[in-house]
Amino acid sequence: MATKLLALACIRNDGCGDLSPRPHYPSMLKYPKGVSAQETSLQGSEASAMFSVTGMTCSACAGSVEKAVKRLPGIREAVVDVLNNRAQVMFYPSFVNEETIREAIEDVGFQAALIEDETNEKSIQVCRIHINGLTCTSCSSTVEKALQAIRGVQKAQVALATEEAEVHYDPKIVNHNQLMGAIEDAGFEAILVSTEEDMSKIDLQVDGVKNSDSMRMLENSLQALPGVQAVDISFELKKISVSYKPDITGPRNFIRVIESTGSSRSFKATIFPEGGGGRENHRKEEIKQYFRSFLWSLIFTIPVFLTSMIFMYIPVIKHGLDTKVVNMLTFGETMKWVLSTPVQFIIGRRFYTGSYKALRHRSANMDVLITLGTNAAYFYSVYTVLRAATSPYFEGTDFFETSAMLISFILLGKYLEVLAKGKTSEAIAKLMNLAPERAILLTLDKEGNVKSEEEIDSRLIQKNDIIKIIPGAKVASDGFVLWGQSHINESMITGEARPVAKRKGDTVIGGTVNENGVLHIKATKVGSESALAQIVRLVESAQMAKAPVQKFADRISKYFVPLVIILSFSTWLAWFLAGKFHGYPESWIPSSMDRFELALQFGISVMVIACPCALGLATPTAVMVGTGVGASQGVLIKGGQALESAHKVNCIVFDKTGTLTVGKPVVVNTRLLKNMVLHEFYELVAATEVNSEHPLAKAIVEYAKKLREDEENPAWPEARDFVSVTGHGVKAVVRNREVIVGNKSLMLDHSIAVLAEAQDMLTETEGMAQTGILVSIDGEVTGVLAISDPVKPGAQEVISILESMNVRSIMVTGDNWRTASSIARQIGIETVVAEAKPEQKAEKIKDLQAAGYAVAMVGDGINDSPALVAADVGMAIGAGTDIAIEAADIVLMKSNLEDVITAIHLSRKTFSRIRLNYIWALGYNILGIPIAAGALFPSTGFRLPPWIAGAAMAASSVTVVCCSLLLKNYKRPKKLQNLGIRGIKIE
């Protein structure tokens, strides 16, 4: 203790430490041990993390958690909330991380988990970077390692199929320019695609700007606007980029400010024309580059091919080609040398560049194999040409056609591969094109009448704008209907083919099609907040995420290229030594070459036939197409992990309310026990329940409204002394009468006798899968309400189909046993867990997992979130337009149970395609390498020329991508096609 106090005194005296402001633990340092406040500020800014802590029962527990956390180096502050079982920790990421903090909490006897969505979101940003030059998984691994090594980067994913990196980083520690610099240092070209996804951003082109001072003036004017978060200007492009909060401001405000700035008001602002920056533009440019390179390569290679393979059999031409230039050097050899040199060093420069960058970072990729193979052929040919030119008797064989044709075929293969890979991301392109280009903006007067209408660019829509949607037009923004009636086709967003009726108050989704009738809608979500933008982001993230099975390919590719180089050299050495020591007959050697040249051909063929690209593309291309197809069916799959887990599912746990049932309770029966007018009875009950947010309360109020059909929005009597008892019911005083509405336990708590007649009614109600509600007026049970949540149409058939797919179905619900059992009997579920709290649902899932099941949880994504997280696959049903459910792995947008089957069936199809891709990629190499090494040559005389080996290598990647593309023809199981699940209408 004395030592600790002495150390503390030293720290005080030296001025290199400070004490925590909290008095509980005076020995706890505010900054990391041995680091001063000044030094800490240089180490990087602080971060915040929120943990859920289970097991705390009192303030002493909270104190022990707080103490354990504060003992760690790098902790600035720790606050423990025992009531909500949470701990918030402020810390310095350069000294400690979330996992260390979590372990410290668990070391003192409590369970802790990081709450991802409640961490300081503003401290973490996401950027997407397009990377040019990726050829195989070795390249993507190199870039990933380079990004993850940067301080401030939380997570980095590089997708070979999309040639993009998604980086989660702390903007206080590192910026996107540094990230792009790290990629370029790794030897690849980096182009920023997007950043700061949590902010809306728009690019404006300004005409009339004459100098940089004008641009600065506009920048200052825009920055002064409330809601503007960042303004970037480019005087050369006359471009202003504004990042803003859509709740506060919008692009029309920016245009108005720009055009009203300056004394002459000569500025004119429009949305900056797109081009040159999008993913599609990068892809198109890459396709053009490969096509141009291939065409130029072909121009030089065809004469080389004809000279080597065709003209030598035509006597007249052969005689001209054999004309001697210098000593034994012929005109034909000279021409081939001249033509193949541009192919090798100018057109094939990309392979040299890729090889150099890979080797500089101590890795090897496909470019290394191509460079070694073509250089071996080219420089050996140069050696033979030079020797022929300096010798009057030397006759050698050149391989100029090998290097030239090899590069040409590889470029053709890359062109076809890029073309095919572009088609794998068509789903995102189609989604992004759903948004209409124009919209009709309405201006209303104070009475709500239309004053004027104006056609504007849809990107100029702001929150709370009134938009007119004419028949046949696309809905321009998420919002709700203010006026009009129509049917809207939402199939492009939800996959639901049947048009949905819309009237006043109904929500609409941007990008859907208005079929008939005119609608006036109020925009509620614009820009990056819209459902369409969220779907695009979700699908993009899904296509970035790697499936666990891809680790297999990553491990192989790590050793693949070095192993191929060793095999290639061994092949050449084995054939050369066998020839030198007469290990095979002289007759095996073709007349046009010697032993060395024969061995060299075998070695080069081995080097170029081995293809790590096909292996690297096997998983990501299938995941891209699978997730894209899922999105078109209304099933949003969050990446390869979810796909891989879903194909193993053999047990599904269903929540009841809103999942197996419609989720909208309705009053189906009323039984009065006292002489009372029904109208008056419901007036008292509705006046009490109207203050409650509970779904059952809303059902009662809606039913009461129907009894007063003469009034659209009836005014209920005033309810005084309103009290809501969570999980039991409500009570209030209405018209000087005490009204209590709730379950049996609430009545008993208030010493209200529940007569046998009322008890019998409750039992009968629950036996019919209905919820019984007791109503007490002035201390006496006056009536019993029966509320039912109807079973979803087709639920029974879905459970039956799942059973035929060898998937077990279980219901876990918080409802009572009788209601749950009755619902389960109706739809064919045998195992039921009722009256379960959210944490008990999660425990049940863990028990099933311990029993060997791969478990999927299907719930509403809110109160079922612990179970959704605990399950191998969490499926959120009933998402509607709110698709950003973090807890779920799969979001079922149509709220149809049939989509549970679609999700599992699609994942099985996708994973079988991944397996097929791996079988093809691995089988190709396992068969191709021995053939290229000359395994068939002794028995059949067949040998694989290097240029044919190169063509086969290029074809393997194209074949794998095309195999994945076949998933685009996915059809749901025939049983679902015949099911015809109908909608349900509640009157």
Active site residues: 655
Q: Identify which of 946, 965, 919 has the alpha carbon closest to the alpha carbon of residue 416.
A: 965
Q: Are 654 and 829 in contact (CB under 8 A)?
A: yes
* 472 backbone dihedrals φ, ψ, rounded to 5°: 85, -10
CB under 8 Å to 542, separation ≥6 — which residues?
A: 623, 627, 636, 637, 638, 639, 640, 642
State whether the Cα torsion 866-867-872-876 is positive or negative. Answer: negative
Residue 33: strand, helix, or coil: coil
Q: Pseudo-torsion of CA 712, 713, 715, 721, nearest 10°?
A: 150
Q: Are 485 and 521 in contact (CB under 8 A)?
A: no
**305-332 burial code (b ≥16 CB/10 A, e <16):** bebbeebeeeeeeeeebeeeeeebbbeb
Q: What does DSSP assign to residue 313? A: G
Q: Identify which of 438, 537, 536 has the alpha carbon closest to the alpha carbon of residue 493.
A: 536
Q: How far apart, in whole angstroms, are the C-alpha atoms of residue 830 and residue 824?
A: 7
Q: How far apart, in whole angstroms, are the C-alpha atoms of residue 161 and residue 150?
A: 24
Q: Identify which of 608, 602, 562 has the alpha carbon closest to the alpha carbon of residue 931.
A: 602
Q: Are 932 and 944 in contact (CB under 8 A)?
A: yes
Residues composing the chain: 987
Print the SS3 string covering 433-475.
Answer: CCCCCEEEEEEECCCCCEEEEEEEEHHHCCCCCEEEECCCCEC
Pair type for strands 771-777 and 737-742: antiparallel
Q: How far apart, in whole angstroms, are the C-alpha atoms of residue 625 and residue 618?
A: 12
C-alpha 790: how far from chain center: 34
Measured CA distances, 147 to 143, 156, 588, 616, 770 (Å): 6, 6, 53, 20, 57
Residue 594: strand, helix, or coil: coil
Provide the edge-to-edge strand list for the sheet that holds 125-132: 153-159, 164-169, 125-132, 189-195
Residue in this structure with the two tokens 């610099």, named with its chain if needed: 181
Instruction: Judge residue 299's burial from the number of C-beta atoms within 10 Å of its C-beta, 0-12 exposed, 13-18 middle, 19 or more buried.
Output: middle
The long-range contacts involving 28-33, CB below 8 angstroms and separated by at least 24 positions, are: 28/67, 28/70, 28/71, 30/76, 31/76, 31/92, 32/73, 32/74, 32/92, 32/95, 33/73
Q: Are 501 and 457 in contact (CB under 8 A)?
A: no
* 488 backbone dihedrals φ, ψ, rounded to 5°: -120, 130
Q: How far apart, in whole angstroms, are the C-alpha atoms of residue 44 and residue 726?
A: 45
C-alpha 545: how far from chain center: 6
